[in-house]
Chain A
């Protein structure tokens, strides 16, 4: 890869030029070469009290796997990571390492932190190229666990429980497992064969994944309760809309719909694939999070001119900094301190009326509270509008589980180990926390899986 820096220089991921990558859905980062990975691994100080591990929600033994890389024992490194995390190729790509392991790296103070995420990805990709090694599973316990949802939380819980010897069945309502990893995150950030390969490991561990099964419908709640434990990881799949006039016009999408059409249903390849998506010349994306960046960058790849409208300032954008920069490189225009007040058009969208926002006193999150500037309205032409302003837990299953307590936003209330108000029912990930990151969902799921395992073992002793 020509974009790669030579040995000895600062190691950078092989990022494809924006002009080239905006024309396809192939991965933006090409990853590290073996030489680059070894050179980067050698930078690790092997701290006696590593703070990076504390920064990792799934507690990977980071210095140990990095040491293996430095010794060129790449498969050994993979084994160490997989003891803690069965989805390293996913996490290496989509974790916000800058605020987790890398954010805690001691080298960050002096120069720059070790690129732990890139190394994790390198190791995972290496192992996959040579054929993934299915992790060992404990003797069967005879206990059955139902896992609802096959996104990051469900997959993690299923892996941990299978590892512990439990009989795990995963229920997924869509036709592919993976949840947000499949329908939400675009392939240029997370190729789908990478996700599939890591999910296949679970099957190799004996986990049964039933697609097209909507828990609470295809499998009634009473049948779920018949399992020795139930783990709910149904995520935050319910899209929010702004509730402004014009939202019903044709061409107004939730980010979920837009991304699902392209990522899961391959609408970018219509009519080879049957699912269409509107062919838009000008797209307005509303929101400033990672989902908004994904939607904007997908829309660019479909050939549209894209304007991202966000109500606060650039420094307030909740998306990962690297993704914001990549969106900018790819030609996404940012209209900051602005907020849509109305979507224009008859039948089909023709534009978005926005208002300028003024930054006022800080709110609870420490960010300035934006407030509309009177008379500052302006219009952006658009034939598609994508709302990426967040999503909440899907209430479908939760409403049907009698006795489970949930919060005002519909999130299942759980303790630190994922226990719900119902015995034997656990939950983690976005359905418990509200919309957050892949890795936080995995961290929560891992804790819950451990608690389930403990409960099932105590159960066994009692009998």
Chain B
């Protein structure tokens, strides 16, 4: 059992939890993830290690399915049944020169820890965070602190640049020499945004988020195609060379349980209504 120390809402449908998990917090590095299971009936879901502080680890998630909705109802003092990690390979942080860390939506959660690590390694770090609108934007202050420069973009222009993070990235790499880029967000956003750096052949990492079960290389549920080879995102990744990833396949496999996920969420909301408790209806 792992105690929730702090829990709260960061933006529209996006929540954060600080949970006490020393075995993860003490050893986690930028780019790694953990797997949680809320209770005895829960599924195992992977979430990025968004920050660590002593024995605490922060997770940030968007309430989309049953599990993340349930997770969003947890309060300080509640418990998460299982927290396993840190899992996956850490980000390859080197002294590259100038790095850009691009986050989209809930994917921004992964950015500050990478930006800090890249900066600590001596890089000049530029951050770009994008969201549908100002209401979905998270961690702006934290990113401003973690990066040398920060650009904000919203699809509707309600905050920062009016447009996509990809548009900002394009301008940045045209304006100066960029040596390494991380792009983290929904699969479609990573697909589109990584096309920006392809023509210049800039080293670009994406953090993939396929369906996982164990997260330790045991089941193969998270297999992805990278450079024409089958890789397990949980142990070979989650970060891969963006220009070699088959994003269409990733998105196809993410939809494997679309119907089941929908049914599970509906059932959860129905029960939450009947019991008159819990359940965010974002």
Contact = CB atoms under 8 A, between A and B. Distances in A.
Contact of B213 (A211, A250, A261): A261
Chain A, interface size: which category? 35 or more
Nearest to A213: B23
A245 to B, nearest CB: 12
A137 to B, nearest CB: 27
A250 B23 contact: no
Given A270-B264, A272-B41, A256 B218 contact: yes
B219 A278 contact: no
Given A214-B84, A275-B43, A257 B221 contact: yes
Contacts of A367: none
B235 A396 contact: yes
Would you call the interface of chain B mostly helix, strand, loop, or mixed?
Answer: mixed
Contacts, number: 120
B37 A218 contact: no
A218 B85 contact: yes
A271 B263 contact: yes
Interface residues of B, number: 40
Contacts of B85: 212, 214, 217-218
B124 interface: no
Contacts of A265: 43-44, 213
A248 B223 contact: yes
Interface stretch (A128-136, A233-241, A372-380, A455-463): A233-241
B155 interface: no
A23 interface: no
A218 B85 CA distance: 6
Contacts of B83: 212
Contacts of B42: 274
Contacts of B82: 175, 211-212
Contacts of A218: 23-24, 27, 84-86
Interface of B: 23-24, 27, 37, 41-44, 66-67, 81-87, 213-214, 216-221, 223, 225, 230, 235, 249, 252-253, 255-257, 260-261, 263-264, 267
The 8 closest A-B pairs by CB, nearest first: A257-B219, A276-B260, A274-B43, A212-B84, A218-B23, A175-B82, A275-B43, A237-B218
Given A175-B82, A241-B220, A248-B225, 14 more contacts: A175-B81, A212-B83, A220-B27, A238-B218, A248-B223, A248-B252, A250-B256, A254-B220, A257-B221, A265-B43, A270-B260, A274-B43, A274-B66, A275-B44
